[in-house]
Amino acid sequence: MSNPVAMELAPTGTLRAAINVANFLLVTGKKPNGDPDGVAPDLAAAIADDLGVGIEYVPFATPGELADAVNDGAWDIGLIGAEPARAEHIKFTAAYVEIEATYLVLEDSPLKQLEDIDRPGIQIAVSARSAYDLYLTRHLKHAKLVRAEGLDASYELFVREGLDALAGLKPRLLSDVETLGQARLLEGQFTAVQQAVGTPADRKDGAAYLRSFIETAKTSGLIAQLISHHRVKGLSVAPEA
């Protein structure tokens, strides 16, 4: 490879792209060869194509596992929510898409609005080490987070333990309302998860390239095209940085 950025980002000649397969908005299925399919895998493939290298997907069951694996040199780029807790070891682009996060409560819950949540005694089910878990960990002063491994497990925890609220991504919570019945979402959002592309923190030229690529992908319409192609509801193209 004569491209120094490609050599830094993909030193083996193949770009190893870490994918959080639990994100049902960004990974919507599998390709015939078993590779993950969706907005995130297609974006990673576009980056590899632009660099002139091959693509290899490195799947992870949770975002926390994906973030941890950067310390093992397991991947070259990771498609994951950008969070300060992860930024020590990962250099992030600006967001390419945003996903609203809010709370689900039972229909007869006394919790009526977002401002009602952060009170002593309130227990909130959440998917451990998700981007919105990290956000809530930083911002909640009184309510208690009760963690489970993954989206399905956090929903089951909420139901089984009769917790006060379930924190999650709005599109998933809307389907949980339909499943559960007698439930509702609180109006508004407590955050919008910023889905970004990261690379190990020591790859400075590669990080600069990725930042530029993502901004171009937003302004050129590539991100919007990927969302439309995969027919994903609940994703919006992030604003320009």
Q: What is the pTM of this model?
A: 0.84
Could you give the count of Cα atoms lying within 13 Å of 160 in the half-sphere of its Cβ? 9
Does the pLDDT value for residue 48 go beyond 90? yes
pLDDT more than 90, % of the chain: 91
What whole-number distance in Å separates Cα of residue 72 and Cα of residue 80? 17
Q: Do 143 and 83 belong together in one domain? A: no
**Would you state the pLDDT for residue 233?**
86
Q: Do 8 and 37 belong together in one domain? A: yes
Q: Which domain holds residue 121?
A: 99-191
Q: Do 66 and 139 belong together in one domain? A: no
241 close to 114: Cβ distance less than 8 angstroms: no
Q: Do 78 and 118 belong together in one domain? A: no
Give pLDDT tens digits for 12-37: 999 999 999 999 999 999 999 999 99
**Would you state the pLDDT for residue 104?**
98
Q: Do 172 and 226 belong together in one domain? A: no
Q: Do 40 and 121 belong together in one domain? A: no
pLDDT more than 70, % of the chain: 99
Please name the residue that has the structure tokens 């940085």.
241
Q: Do 186 and 200 belong together in one domain? A: no
Q: Do 185 and 199 belong together in one domain? A: no
Domain holding 52: CATH number? 3.40.190.10
Domain tally for the chain? 2
Q: Do 9 and 92 belong together in one domain? A: yes
Give pLDDT tens digits for 74-108: 999 999 998 888 888 999 999 999 999 999 999 99
Task: Count Cβ neighbours within 10 Å for each residue of 52-81 and write b for 16 or more, e otherwise.
Answer: ebebbbbbbebbbbbbeebeeeebbbbbbb
156 close to 148: Cβ distance less than 8 angstroms: yes
Q: Do 180 and 108 belong together in one domain? A: yes
Burial (CB count <10 Å: 0-12, 13-18, 19+), residue 174: middle
Q: Do 107 and 186 belong together in one domain? A: yes
Q: Do 157 and 207 belong together in one domain? A: no
**Would you state the pLDDT for residue 2?**
62
Of 155, 173, 191, at which residue does a domain stop? 191
